[in-house]
């Protein structure tokens, strides 16, 4: 089965074609970094307008790269939530229109299911259950994955997601947007042990909290650099210290989940999964535990259409069809 997936939940307009839920035939992503960078974050209304401008060319390019027309597809999948409501509606309404015009079956996909499916693309099939850390700008969740669409929530953030914390820290340090990428790059030049920052909720279950860590960084900067004159070496050390606190917290909680449940593999997904320090730390954790690590390449960590097509394949196989009156969901638990 060849499934076309469409993703417009935030600030990437993406479409991709995936065969049998595993093989990527095409994957096209149009980012909006140029549009939102001047504001230091995503502006929902501007994101929606850009989706409208580029979504049709993106879909056509995905079909062209796959060497297909609509008649060659077996189904359609679209992100139905969670995400920015206006952005979601652009993709959802286009998908409905294509489904009505073509007669292809359409299914709605939970964005988190898509991120989990990204770790299963172009690799050997996974043995279940898996432990999964899904970490992005909007989510920081721990799951047991018992099947591609069967997730059990084990832990979640109580306030800021890790990706949001990276973006806010970058803004505080004057690094600009997208913050996570810039902190990752700068951290490679810094000393992660120079500044002492807390590891939030380290011994308090499997939930996360990053709001206080952001505040701790703000207090640290105000104390150490009252005149706000931060040299390049100092800036690199601040970025590295903040990143170390986030990464160690994520890995510690994931290890705590592995202590509680018996799994056959470990999956890392979401936009923050492209962070190089986190990838190294999770690779080491999997090695120590003797587990297979499912770690998608960076281009599949950020929002993309292939992951929605992959999750949509399993959704269509299970008989789930999207009603033409169905709405998008700004909030939609994956488990």
pLDDT band at 165 (very low <50, low <70, confident <90, very high): very high
**Helix H or strand E segment including 187:** helix 179-187
Q: What is the pLDDT of residues 225-264, one digit of tens each?
A: 998 889 999 999 999 999 999 999 999 999 999 999 999 9
pLDDT at 334 over 90: yes
| Residue range 201-219: mean pLDDT, rounded | 94
pTM over the 0.85 mark: yes
C-alpha–C-alpha distance, residues 112 and 152, integer Å: 12
Residues 199, 196: Cα–Cα separation, whole Å: 10
- Examine domains 2-119+299-317 and 130-295 and report if their fold is the same: yes
pLDDT digits (tens, 9 = 90+) for 132-162: 999 998 899 999 999 999 999 999 999 999 9
May I ask the CATH architecture of the domain 130-295? 2-Layer Sandwich (3.30)
Q: Does the pLDDT value for residue 103 go beyond 90?
A: yes
The dihedral over CA atoms of 60, 62, 65, 67, expressed in degrees to the nearest 10, equals: -70
**What contacts 229, CB < 8 A, 6 or more positions away?**
none
pLDDT tens digits, residue range 47-58? 999 999 999 999
| Torsion, Cα of 57, 61, 63, 68 (10° steps) | 120
Which CATH code is given to the segment(s) 2-119+299-317? 3.30.420.40
Cα–Cα distance, 115 to 221 (Å, whole number) = 34
Summarised one tens digit per residue, pLDDT across range 22-77 is 999 999 999 997 888 888 789 999 999 999 999 999 999 999 999 999 999 999 99
The ranges assigned to domains in the chain are 2-119+299-317, 130-295
176, pLDDT greater than 90: no
Closest-CA residue to 214 (of 293, 254, 157, 265)? 157
Exposed e or buried b for every residue in 2-32, given b needs 16+ CB within 10 A? Answer: bbbbbbbbbbbbbbbbbbebeebbbbbbbeb
Which residues fall within 8 angstroms of residue 249, CB to CB, at 6 or more apart?
A: 199, 200, 201, 202, 208, 210, 213
């Amino acid at each position: 089965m060849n499934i076309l997936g469409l993703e417009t939940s935030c600030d990437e307009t993406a479409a991709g074609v995936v065969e049998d839920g595993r093989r990527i035939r095409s994957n096209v992503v149009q980012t909006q970094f140029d549009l939102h960078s001047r504001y230091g974050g995503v502006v929902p209304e501007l994101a929606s307008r850009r989706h409208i401008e580029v979504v049709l060319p993106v879909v056509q390019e995905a079909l062209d790269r796959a060497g297909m027309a609509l008649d060659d597809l077996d189904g359609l999948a679209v992100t139905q939530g969670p995400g920015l409501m206006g952005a979601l509606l652009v993709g959802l309404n286009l998908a409905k229109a294509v489904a009505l015009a073509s007669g292809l079956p359409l299914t709605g996909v939970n964005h988190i299911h898509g991120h989990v499916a990204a770790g299963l693309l172009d690799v050997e099939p996974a043995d279940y259950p898996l432990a999964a850390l899904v970490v992005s700008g909007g989510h920081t969740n721990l799951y047991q994955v018992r099947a591609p669409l069967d997730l059990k929530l084990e832990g979640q953030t109580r306030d800021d997601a890790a990706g949001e914390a990276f973006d806010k820290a970058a803004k505080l340090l004057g690094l600009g947007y997208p913050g996570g990428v810039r902190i990752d790059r700068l951290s490679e030049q810094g000393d992660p042990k120079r500044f002492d920052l807390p590891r939030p909720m380290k011994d308090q279950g499997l939930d996360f909290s990053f709001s206080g860590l952001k505040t701790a960084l703000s207090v640290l900067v105000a104390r150490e650099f009252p005149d706000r004159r931060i040299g390049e070496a100092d800036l690199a050390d601040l970025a590295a210290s903040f990143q170390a606190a986030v990464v160690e917290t994520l890995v510690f909680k994931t290890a705590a989940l592995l202590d509680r449940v018996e799994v056959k593999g470990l999956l890392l997904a979401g936009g923050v999964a492209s962070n190089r320090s986190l990838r190294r730390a999770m690779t080491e954790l999997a090695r120590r535990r003797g587990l297979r690590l499912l770690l998608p390449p960076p281009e599949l960590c950020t929002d993309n259409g292939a992951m929605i097509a992959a999750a949509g394949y399993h959704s269509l196989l299970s008989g789930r069809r999207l009603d033409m009156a169905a709405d998008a969901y700004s909030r939609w638990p994956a488990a």
